[in-house]
């Protein structure tokens, strides 16, 4: 009988282990369709098609809203920080279409959303909601257009318009919005254009504030 050489001896345990794993292989594999152990679907970051957030780590966010469609309103649910269907009177607080901004209150919905305009204040300084000064979206009044007089566009509009360049520039003002769930958020329009100049790529900074 031939005796295995010393060089081949270390291979025997490996061959035995490989044979044992092959025999037991089907029992070690997860069932078809079963997610791997190292993945937790609940930890995946949700993505919205028209709304992208940047978290500043201080309780405030800068959200870019793709409002380039002239037919679809892009809703934002501030309580959840998610895009919502503005075509339905539910689960959205503020909506965007081109340069128009509406809220789910008054003539634009039954959410009871109200907005107060604050001028001469810095965004970071606003930590508490004002006690008075709230308005809701109203029917079109005596102005040059036929659009409803929304809380963001009535009176001192959220933007100034330069007839020479045809550019919109956000005014330096802060809004406090009471959501359909009764929470308060401060909102400031940062820009109407993205980095390459595309209009209706609305950048909005917002964060929760304390009730009055």
pLDDT digits (tens, 9 = 90+) for 28-85: 344 444 444 444 433 333 569 999 999 999 999 999 999 999 999 999 999 999 999 9
Confidence bin at 91 (pLDDT 50/70/90): very high
Q: Report pLDDT for 17.
A: 43
pLDDT digits (tens, 9 = 90+) for 128-177: 999 999 999 998 766 666 678 899 998 779 999 999 999 999 999 999 99
DSSP letters for 43-79: GSPP--SSEEEEE-SSSEEEEEEE---SS--EEEETT
Q: How far is CA 95 from CA 16, 82, 85, 156, 162, in A?
A: 66, 12, 9, 19, 24
* pTM for this prediction: 0.76
Q: Report pLDDT for 126.
A: 98
Q: Report pLDDT for 131.
A: 97
Q: Report pLDDT for 149.
A: 86
Q: Report pLDDT for 180.
A: 96
pLDDT digits (tens, 9 = 90+) for 94-108: 999 999 999 999 999
Q: Report pLDDT for 144.
A: 65
- Is residue 62 a contact partner of residue 84, using CB atoms and an 8 Å limit? no
pLDDT at 19 > cutoff 70: no
Q: Report pLDDT for 145.
A: 63
């Amino acid at each position: 009988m031939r005796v295995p050489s010393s060089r081949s001896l270390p291979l025997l345990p490996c061959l035995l282990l490989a044979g044992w794993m092959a025999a037991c292989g089907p029992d070690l594999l997860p069932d078809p369709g079963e997610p791997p152990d190292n993945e937790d679907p609940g930890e995946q970051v949700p993505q919205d098609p028209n709304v992208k957030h940047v978290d500043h780590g201080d309780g405030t966010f800068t959200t870019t809203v793709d409002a380039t469609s002239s037919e679809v309103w892009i809703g934002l649910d501030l309580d959840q920080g998610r895009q919502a269907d503005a075509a339905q009177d539910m689960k959205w607080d503020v909506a965007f279409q081109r340069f128009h901004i509406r809220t789910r209150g008054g003539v634009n919905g039954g959410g009871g959303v109200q907005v107060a305009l604050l001028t001469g204040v810095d965004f970071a300084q606003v930590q508490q909601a004002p006690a008075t000064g709230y308005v809701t979206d109203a029917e079109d009044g005596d102005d040059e257009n036929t659009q409803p007089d929304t809380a963001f566009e009535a009176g001192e509009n959220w933007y100034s318009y330069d007839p020479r360049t045809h550019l919109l520039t956000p005014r330096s003002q802060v809004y406090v919005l009471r959501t359909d769930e009764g929470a308060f958020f401060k909102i400031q329009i940062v820009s109407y254009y993205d980095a390459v100049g595309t209009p209706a790529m609305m950048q909005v900074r917002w964060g929760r504030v304390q009730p009055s």
